[in-house]
Structure 1
Amino acid sequence: MADQNRRNFIKGSGMALLPAFIPAGSLRAAEKMERWGTGNEDPVNFFGDGIMYAPAAYLAELQKANSLHAIEQDRYGTGGAVAALEKKFEEITGKEKAIFMPSGTMANQFAIAALSGENTKVFVQDTSHVYRDEADAAQSVFKKRLMPLAKDKTWFTAEELKQAIDSLKEQEVFSSGIGAVSIENPVRRTDGRMIPIDEIKKISEYCRSNNIRLHLDGARIYMASAWSGVSVREYASYFDTIYISLYKYLGASGGAVLCGEKKLIETLPHMIKIHGGNMYGNWTNAAMALHRLDGFEDRMKETVKRATALFTALNQLDGIKVNVLDNGTNIYQLELGKNIDGKKFRDTLRDTHTIRMAMPNAKNQVMISVNETLLVRESAAIVDAFSNALRLAKN
C-alpha cells in the first residue's frame, strides 16, 4: 500500500486513534510478528500461552482487525469494542453479564468480595494466584480471611473442603461466616495442571447445596478447555463467577473479563471507579482480544493435535524425551541426554531455526509450553530442527 493510501486508510478508520508517531514503514515491517534468528520465519515459541506482540506488530494486527470490522472506541469502559467483547464473553460462558476489568487481580478480588458479602472466610488452593500472587489484597483491602487448602497441590477435593468447613465449629469460638470458595484452573504454580472435571462437579454440588458462592479464576481456562475437551461454557456453568485473561493468549497487552449474574456484575463499575481502575479508553485491548477470539478454539484444538504428534516424533530421536504431566495442559517437561550440551542445543534452535525455549537446568531438563505459534511451521520441519540441534550439541 502506498504511503498516501495508507495515510488515507488510517485517517478514514478507527485506526486514526493510534499514536501518530508510529511511522508507516514500521507498520509495514510488522505485517507479521517480530522475527528472530538467521532465518526469515515466524518464531515457534515453547514458552507462554500465546502470541505476545511487539508494539509495531500489535499496531499492525489492530489494523488487520480494523480492516475486517471497524474498531469503535469505548468511553470509560462503556460501548464500542468493550461492549462487543463483553457480549461475546456472555455468549461464550453462558453467564448473564460480563464486564471488562483492567487486570486479573482486580477481577478475582472484586468477584470474591462481591460473592462473600459480609462473611469473611474464603477457601482457596494453597498454590492459587489469589493466595500467593495478589499482594494480600483480600486481607488488606477487602478484609477477607483466606483459608488455604491442599498445600503444594493443584486442587483440594470436595470432601477436603467439607471437612475443613465442618471442623470450624470445633476449632473456632466465634463464627464469621463462609463467604466464598475460589478455585484457580489450571494452576500456574503447579506447571499448568488442571483440576479433573469430576472433582469440580463435586465441589460445585457441595457449595450449591450449602449456599456457598463459588468463583473460578479461569485466567488460563482456554488451556484447560483445549487439553481436557471440556468447553469453557461447561466449566463456567459450575461457578457463580468466572474471570478470563485477555493477554495470556488473546494477544491483548492487558485486561480481563469477569462474568456472572447480572445483579452482581452491575455492582462492579462503582468498585472499579473507587479503586482507580476506570480508564477512559480500553478499546486497544478489547479490540485485540475480540479479533483474536475469532477461530481461537479451533486453533487451540489444532495446536493440541500438532503437539501430540510432534512430541511423539521427538521421542523417537536419541538424546531427547518430552514428558506429559499428570493432569497437564500446555506445559511439558523436556529432558536432554547427558551427552547433550543444553546451552548449545537451545542456542542452535534459536539462532538457526527460530525456535525458542528456556535454558535447560543443571539436570538438562526444561519446562516447555505449547501455544499457537506451533501452527506457523510444519511439524516435520520442527522435528528436523530438533534433530539438527541435537546433532550439533552432542558432546
Structure 2
Amino acid sequence: MTDAELRQQCHTIIPGHRQPTPAETFAAMSAWCEEHGIAHDTYGDGELIEQFEQKIARLLGFEAAVFCITGTMTQVTALRLACQDRASRLVALHPTSHILRHERGNHELLDHFKALMIGDPHRPWTVDDLRAVPDALAAAQLELPMREIGGQCPRWDELDAIKHHCQQHNIHLHMDGARLWETQAAFGQPLSAVCRGFDSVYVSLYKGIGGLGGAMLAGSGQFVERAREWFRRQGGNIIHRTPYVVAAAMQFDARIAAMPHYFERTQWLYQLLQDYPVIAVNPARPQANMLHLHLPVSRERAMAIRDDIASEHGIWLFGRASHAALPDHCYIEWYVGDNLLAMPDGQVLKALDLLAARLKP
C-alpha cells in the first residue's frame, strides 16, 4: 500500500489542512465562479487576476504584484533582476534556502546568479553574517519563516537591522515568503510592516492558503513589470491563470483570518508537548504555526511507527521523516492548520500518547 493510500484510509490527519478531493475542489470553484461571474483571463489579462494581484500588493505594502506559475520561477527571476541592477551576480542565501535545497541547481545551470551561503545552517542568518561578506552583494534572500529549521524567524530588532544594512549598502533584500502569512501572529505586526524594507517578496498561493498552485511576486511597479516579461521568456505565460487564481482567491480571506487561530493552537501544542520529554521540539518557542519534532529513532523506524499507528488506529501522524545529525535520530514536521485546529484535544493527546509509547526504549 502506498503512503497516499494509507493516509486516505485514516480518519484522523494531524498536520496541515483538510485535503478535499478534486471533485470537491472543482465543485467549490465552479460555484464560486458562478456566484461572482468570473471570466477567464487571457495571458494574465482579466479582471479577477488583476484585482487579486492588486489585493496582494496592497496587503504587503507594495506598488504592484504579479502572478507566476511556480515559486521556483518567481524567486530566481527576482534575484536575477536584482543582479542586473547592481552589476554583481552574487546573492547571499542561507544554507537551507529552497533554491539550494530543492531547485536542482537552476540558479547556476540557467545562469541566473551566483550563490554565496551565509549563516549557520541551524539558525536564521544575521546582520553580522552580512557584514562579514567582503564582496559586493547584489542581493540577499531571507526566508520568513524558515521551513527547513522548524519555522524559525529572526527577532524583530534583528530583522530591522538586516533591512537597514541592506538599504545602506544597496543590497536588494528579497523575501522568500512562501509561508509569510504564518509569521504575522508571531511577530505581532501587520504584513505590510513585516514586508517594509524588503525590495521584493514572493508568496505562495497553495501552501498555507490551500490553493492549487501558483505564486505572487510583489515589488515596485517597474520591477514587477520586468519580472512579468522574464516569466514569459521562461515559459510561464500560460493562457489561463484562472484555475489557480480562483482556487486561492475564493478562500484567501478566510485563510488569512484563521492564521492567528492556528498560532494559538500551536502555542497550546507547545504546552502539551512539555509532557512528552521523549519528543524534542524545534524551535524552542513557537514562531509560526509549524514546528519540527525530533525523535530518538532512525528515519526508517519513525516511518514504520507512522504506518503501524495509521493501520491500527486510523491516525496519520506525519508525511515524511528526515535524517537528523545524530545517529538513530530523525525529525518530522507538523504544520498546524485546519486539522489540528478542529481536532478535539483528547484526540491530539491520543495521537501523542501512541507516538511516545512507540519511541520509548
Normalised to the residue count of structure 1, the TM-score between the two structures is: 0.76
Give the match for residue 369 of structure 1.
Answer: 334
The answer on 1:205 being equivalent to 2:170 is no
Match for residue 249 of structure 1? 208
After superposition, residues 85-104 of structure 1 pair within 5 angstroms as 85-104=52-71
Answer with 296-305 or 351-360: which moved more. Answer: 351-360
Decide which of 127, 130, 154 is 1:195's aligned counterpart. 154
Say whether 1:84 aligns with 2:51.
yes
Match of 2:176 in 1: 217
Following superposition, the deviation at residue 208 of structure 1 comes to 0.7
How many angstroms does 1:241 deviate by? 0.3
Is the Cα–Cα contact under 8 Å of residues 44 and 377 in structure 1 kept in the other structure? no
* Residue aligning to 1:381: 347
Identify the residue that residue 127 of structure 2 maps to in structure 1.
Answer: 158
Q: Separation in 2 of the partners of 1:73 and 1:392?
A: 52
* Change in 2 beyond 3 A, CA 1:185/1:346: same
Equivalent residues of 2:77, 2:112 under 8 A apart: no
Unaligned runs of 5+ in 1: 1-33, 169-176
Q: Could you tell me how far 1:335 is from its partner in structure 2?
A: 4.2
Q: Is the 8 A contact 2:10 2:310 kept in 1?
A: no
Letter aligned with residue 341 of structure 2: L
Q: Which residue of 2 aligns with 1:37?
A: 9
Q: Which residue of 2 aligns with 1:24?
A: none
Q: Superposition pairs for residues 42-53 of structure 1, below 5 Å?
A: 43-46=12-15, 50-53=17-20
Q: Secondary structure at the match of 1:66?
A: helix
Displacement, 1:97? 0.1
Q: What letter matches 1:125 in structure 2?
A: H
1:52/1:228 Cα in 2 relative to 1: closer, same or farther (>3 Å)?
farther
Matches of 1:255 and 1:274 in 2, distance apart?
Answer: 17
Secondary structure of 1:100 counterpart = strand
Do the aligned partners of 2:184 and 2:190 also contact (CA within 8 Å) in 1? yes
Contact 1:187 1:193 in 2 (8 A): yes
1:345–1:390 CA contact under 8 A, matched in 2: no
The root-mean-square deviation of aligned C-alpha atoms, in Å, is 3.2
Match of 2:309 in 1: 348
Identity of aligned residues (%): 22
Distance 1:148 1:314 in 2: 34
Matched, 1:69 2:36: yes
1:245: Cα distance to partner? Answer: 0.9
Contact 1:349 1:389 in 2 (8 A): no
Corresponding position of 2:3: none
| Structure 1 counterpart of 2:162, one-letter code | I
Distance 2:63 2:14 in 1: 36
**CA displacement at 1:284 relative to structure 2:** 0.8
Is the 1:250–1:288 Cα contact (8 Å) retained in structure 2? no
Call closer, same or farther: CA 1:309–1:371 in 2, change over 3 Å.
closer
Residues 239-283 of structure 1 deviation map (CA, whole Å, 9 limit, x = unaligned): 010000112122222210000001111122221211111000111
Post-superposition Cα deviations, 1:353-384, rounded to whole Å, max 9, x if no partner, equal 44432477885754231232212322233324
Offset at residue 287 of structure 1 (A): 0.9
Partner of 2:94: 125
User: Which of 178, 186, 189 is the equivalent residue of 2:145?
Assistant: 186
Structure 1 position 272 matched with structure 2 position 224: no
Q: C-alpha separation between the residues in 2 aligned to 1:189 and 1:180?
A: 21
Structure 1 residues 105 and 385: CA distance shift in structure 2, 3 A: closer
Aligned residue among 222, 232, 246 for 2:191? 232
- CA distance in 2 between counterparts of 1:257 and 1:271 reads 14
Distance 1:259 1:336, change over 3 A: same
Match of 2:76 among 109, 113, 122: 109
Q: Secondary structure at the match of 1:123?
A: strand
Distance 1:378-1:81 versus aligned 2 partners, 3 A rule: farther
The code of the aligned residue for 2:23 comes to A
In structure 2, distance between residues paired with 1:54 and 1:163: 50
Contact 1:244 1:256 in 2 (8 A): yes
Q: Which amino acid aligns with 1:357?
A: F
Cα pair 2:53 2:216 within 8 Å, conserved: yes
Aligned equivalent of 1:325? 283
The one-letter amino acid paired with 2:346 is A
Over 3 Å counting, the alpha-carbon distance change for 1:390 and 1:215 in structure 2 is: closer
Query: In structure 1, what residue type is equivalent to 2:56?
Result: F
